């Protein structure tokens, strides 16, 4: 059997409340990590920003992975935020 078709993430701007240039930084991290997640039929998307709290939804096989690529990427590049992964 072939691999399931990769589901494209929904529009990134829905339900997003911006806080300064934090949104731009978050989107850069997501852009850089999603190429890796695509190889595993997964993706991460921004759900909401409130102050320094960033809510990210991870979908696909990588959502349950112990490697935590999304969390590691954000901790390395944006250690000043509170990351919530769903």
* pLDDT per residue as tens digits for the range 9-60: 544 444 444 445 999 999 999 999 999 999 999 999 999 999 999 999 999 9
Tell how strand 53-60 and strand 82-85 pair up.
Answer: parallel
Residue in the block written with tokens 């695509």: 38
- Per-residue pLDDT tens over the stretch 38-49: 999 999 999 999
- Cα–Cα nearest to 13, from 5, 29, 24, 2: 24
Residues 57 and 43 sit within 8 Å (Cβ to Cβ): no
Name all domains of the chain by residue range, CATH numbers in brackets: 22-85 (3.30.300.130)
Interatomic CA distance for residues 46 and 55, integer angstroms: 6
DSSP reduced 3-state for 60: strand
């Amino acid at each position: 059997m072939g691999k399931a078709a990769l589901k494209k993430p929904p529009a990134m701007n829905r339900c997003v409340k911006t806080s300064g240039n934090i949104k731009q930084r978050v989107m850069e991290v997501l852009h850089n990590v999603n190429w890796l997640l695509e190889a595993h039929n997964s993706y991460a998307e921004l759900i909401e920003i409130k102050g320094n709290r960033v809510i990210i939804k991870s979908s696909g096989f990588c959502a349950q992975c112990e490697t935590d690529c999304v969390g590691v990427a954000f901790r390395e590049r944006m250690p000043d935020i509170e990351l919530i992964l769903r």
